[in-house]
């Protein structure tokens, strides 16, 4: 699972031990400082079977912060990356969030800056989203909590410049930010970059997907030439390899194949559902999983309409999309963490990097654009070693995307049925019985209430001559309320749909082979149609259009949809919600010169 291209290559034995270690990671904070301290000491005294953090040569203040965090053993990526970074080497790492990669780069950088007295920042970390920027900055802060006068500043869009400017004016060691805001501060001269000697690109593939390539290159060009470069990416497409080739100097390469490992804890399922039944199917799924759910949809508009519909069904819901101001987003994530909200309806970009242990279920309400999006989405559950579930909604036209997804992620996604009335009613019944039972246990805890209940019981018996069973029935009736307890909507569509879909699926599998067209990777409503002023009269062919778009923008060929060429214009379906920069580039596209 770990590979390096040079003499530092890990042997299969080491790989094996890293795999094993990763399952030993303890994620709970421990307040028992002494116990951990003595464990660290044991490791340092030569118990080499356990590779504690002491082996890296970190100073005491960093070790103390690790004690505070309760980290006992480094994760595989930490074992592989920390020694390289301590030596000052460039590093190219393939790893996802959840593997401990933040500490892998943060700890050696904090170590290097421990006695830094200078004013200007020395390290810049670039992340694709505000959420990740906040998270990474928080991690730096906690790993440096015992290091005196160590300052980390986060700069990202959607928030006021003033606080960021005044933070940048004071002593700063590390700046973590998103490309747009970093550029703004560099241009305004409010972020002094002349002393930056290390640049970390975190989730580089995401930055590319979001159209930040040009911005990243601009920023790199502004920074001092001599610097350590660290690039982390969950996937390694050619574009990332190219960046690495261009900017990294003989990097150590580390691959943590965590996709499989991480998703092992996530049980991946799909269900067939026609578009007009999706909301009903979702509500039925939520009957069985009420808490810690994140629902991914394609558009901002859909986040709000679904959230409203779910709220009307009695759920506590919030939305996370690009229109929500930053402070409100942070508040939403916080409320989700604390359990004030049970369900989050989000777009992909808004939920990137979201790390909430409480999420037990990810619903892919709309089919993801590509396998990377799918992996990122389902990675919101199964965090910190917990298990999770992911359910993918698939309609008739998405069958072949499902197969593509299974092939490309090398995972079998298990089919489940939409819960019928029978299943839901059984669940409601079970829940009611549990609630009554729990309430009978809980009532003993409150003496005042207990006295009240006995009083009510005596009154009912005396005044209305009710016996125990009558009273119990009346009380349960009260809990149920006026609404009908059992779901009795027509659910005949569920079975019909499953059967037809499966039959069609079989019939289509033959066509699928013939139709193995790259543009089938996406579904139609994921696209917007763009009109270009060139057509048949200009001698343009489909291949010309695809290569021009791919060469001039960061749009991947696989994500281009239908292309229609008319005499003097062409219509091209491209993914919705392209980044502004990408749209600008599209305006300037030339085909066959």
* Bridge partner residues of 329 (DSSP): none
C-beta closer to ligand AMP: residue 25 or 542: 25
Residue whose token pair is 């916080």 = 334
Collapsing DSSP to helix, strand or coil, 198 comes out as strand
Written as six digits, the tokens of 261 are: 């490992």
At closest approach, how far in Å is the CB of 177 from ligand AMP? 17
C-beta closer to ligand AMP: residue 144 or 582: 144
C-beta closer to ligand AMP: residue 198 or 317: 198
DSSP string of 56-72? GT--HHHHHHHHHHT--
C-beta closer to ligand AMP: residue 97 or 381: 97
Sheet holding 252-255, edge to edge: 152-155, 174-177, 123-126, 198-201, 228-233, 91-94, 252-255
At closest approach, how far in Å is the CB of 349 from ligand AMP? 18
C-beta closer to ligand AMP: residue 192 or 257: 257
Distance CA 223, CA 96 (A): 26
At closest approach, how far in Å is the CB of 85 from ligand AMP? 14
* Burial class (CB within 10 angstroms; exposed 0-12, middle 13-18, buried 19+) of 293: buried
Collapsing DSSP to helix, strand or coil, 363 comes out as strand
Written as six digits, the tokens of 209 are: 């997907």
Terminal Cα-to-Cα distance of the chain (whole angstroms) = 45
Q: Give every CB contact of residue 164 below 8 A, 6+ residues apart in sequence.
A: 153, 155, 181, 185, 190
Sheet holding 563-565, edge to edge: 527-532, 570-575, 563-565
At closest approach, how far in Å is the CB of 324 from ligand AMP? 22
C-beta closer to ligand AMP: residue 354 or 545: 354
At closest approach, how far in Å is the CB of 327 from ligand AMP? 22
C-beta closer to ligand AMP: residue 101 or 284: 101
At closest approach, how far in Å is the CB of 353 from ligand AMP? 8
Which helix (H) or strand (E) segment holds residue 402: the answer is: helix 399-409
Residue whose token pair is 């805890």 = 445
Number of Cβ within 10 Å of residue 484's Cβ equals: 8
C-beta closer to ligand AMP: residue 27 or 340: 27
At closest approach, how far in Å is the CB of 369 from ligand AMP? 23
Distance CA 423, CA 536 (A): 57
C-beta closer to ligand AMP: residue 36 or 565: 36
At closest approach, how far in Å is the CB of 160 from ligand AMP? 27
At closest approach, how far in Å is the CB of 356 from ligand AMP? 11
Contact yes or no for 527/576 (Cβ under 8 A) = yes
At closest approach, how far in Å is the CB of 9 from ligand AMP? 23
Q: Which residues bind ligand AMP (CB under 6 A)?
A: 25-27, 71, 73-75, 78, 97-103, 384
At closest approach, how far in Å is the CB of 384 from ligand AMP? 6
Contact yes or no for 521/368 (Cβ under 8 A) = no
C-beta closer to ligand AMP: residue 71 or 532: 71
Q: What letter would DSSP give residue 54? A: G
DSSP string of 114-140? TT---SS--EEEE-SSHHHHHHHHHHH
At closest approach, how far in Å is the CB of 51 from ligand AMP? 11
Q: Give every CB contact of residue 470 below 8 A, 6+ residues apart in sequence.
A: none
Contact yes or no for 349/210 (Cβ under 8 A) = yes
C-beta closer to ligand AMP: residue 27 or 464: 27
Distance CA 505, CA 526 (A): 21
Distance CA 356, CA 333 (A): 8
At closest approach, how far in Å is the CB of 110 from ligand AMP? 14
C-beta closer to ligand AMP: residue 198 or 310: 198
Distance CA 127, CA 102 (A): 11
Written as six digits, the tokens of 301 are: 């508009």
C-beta closer to ligand AMP: residue 156 or 365: 156
C-beta closer to ligand AMP: residue 73 or 144: 73
Contact yes or no for 559/575 (Cβ under 8 A) = yes
At closest approach, how far in Å is the CB of 125 from ligand AMP? 12
Contacts 24+ apart (CB under 8 A), 428-437: 428/287, 428/485, 428/486, 428/487, 432/476, 432/479, 432/480, 432/485, 435/479, 436/476, 436/479
Collapsing DSSP to helix, strand or coil, 233 comes out as strand
Cα 272 to its chain centre, rounded Å, is 24
């Amino acid at each position: 699972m770990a590979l390096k291209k040079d003499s530092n290559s890990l042997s299969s034995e080491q790989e094996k031990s890293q795999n094993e270690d990763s399952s030993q990671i303890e994620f709970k904070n421990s307040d028992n400082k002494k116990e951990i301290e003595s464990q660290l000491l044991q490791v340092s005294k030569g118990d080499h079977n356990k590779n504690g953090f002491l082996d890296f040569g970190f100073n005491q203040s960093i070790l103390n912060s690790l004690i505070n965090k309760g980290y006992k053993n480094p994760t595989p990526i930490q074992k592989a990356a920390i020694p390289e970074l301590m030596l000052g080497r460039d590093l190219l790492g393939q790893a996802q969030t959840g593997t401990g990669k933040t500490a892998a780069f943060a700890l050696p950088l904090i170590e290097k800056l421990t006695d830094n007295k200078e004013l200007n920042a020395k390290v810049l970390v670039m992340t694709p989203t505000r959420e990740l920027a906040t998270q990474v900055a928080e991690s730096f802060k906690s790993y440096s909590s015992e290091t005196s006068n160590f300052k980390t500043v986060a700069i990202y869009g959607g928030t006021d410049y003033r606080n960021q400017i005044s933070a940048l004016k004071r002593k700063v060691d590390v700046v973590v930010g998103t490309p747009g805001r970093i550029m703004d501060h560099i241009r305004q001269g409010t972020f002094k970059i002349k002393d930056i000697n290390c640049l970390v690109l975190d989730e580089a593939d995401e930055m590319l997907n979001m159209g930040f390539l040009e911005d990243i290159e601009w920023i790199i060009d502004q920074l001092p030439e001599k610097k350590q470069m660290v690039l982390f990416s969950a996937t390694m497409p050619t574009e990332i390899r190219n960046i690495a080739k261009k900017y990294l100097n003989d990097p150590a390469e580390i691959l943590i194949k965590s996709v499989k490992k991480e998703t092992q804890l996530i049980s991946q399922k799909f269900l067939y559902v026609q578009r007009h039944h999706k909301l009903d199917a979702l509500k039925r799924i939520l009957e069985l999983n009420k808490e810690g759910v994140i629902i991914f949809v394609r558009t901002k508009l859909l986040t709000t309409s679904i959230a409203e519909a779910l709220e009307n069904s009695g759920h506590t819901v919030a939305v996370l999309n690009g229109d929500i101001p930053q402070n409100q987003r942070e508040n939403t994530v916080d409320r989700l963490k604390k359990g004030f909200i049970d369900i989050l309806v989000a777009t992909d970009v808004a939920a990137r990097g979201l790390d909430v242990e409480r999420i037990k279920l990810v619903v892919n309400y709309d089919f993801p654009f590509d396998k990377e999006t799918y992996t990122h989405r389902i990675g919101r559950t199964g965090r910190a070693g917990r298990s999770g579930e992911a359910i993918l909604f698939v309609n008739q036209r998405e069958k072949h995307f499902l197969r593509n997804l299974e092939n490309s992620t090398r995972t079998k996604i298990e089919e489940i049925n939409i819960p019928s009335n029978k299943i839901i009613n059984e669940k409601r019944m079970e829940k009611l019985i549990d609630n009554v039972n729990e309430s009978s246990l809980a009532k003993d805890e409150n003496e005042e209430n207990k006295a009240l209940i006995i009083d009510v019981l005596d009154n009912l018996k005396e005044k209305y001559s009710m016996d125990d069973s009558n009273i119990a029935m009346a009380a349960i009736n009260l809990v149920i309320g006026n609404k009908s307890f059992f779901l009795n909507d027509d659910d005949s569509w569920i079975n019909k749909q499953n059967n037809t879909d499966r039959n069609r699926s079989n019939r289509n599998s033959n066509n699928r082979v013939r139709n193995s067209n790259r543009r089938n990777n996406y579904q139609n409503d994921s696209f917007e149609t763009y009109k270009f002023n060139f057509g048949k009269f200009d001698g343009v062919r489909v291949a010309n259009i695809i290569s021009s778009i791919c060469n001039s923008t960061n749009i991947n060929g696989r994500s281009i949809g239908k292309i229609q060429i008319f005499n003097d214009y062409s219509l091209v379906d491209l993914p919705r919600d392209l980044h502004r920069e990408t749209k600008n580039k599209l305006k300037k596209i030339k085909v066959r010169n």
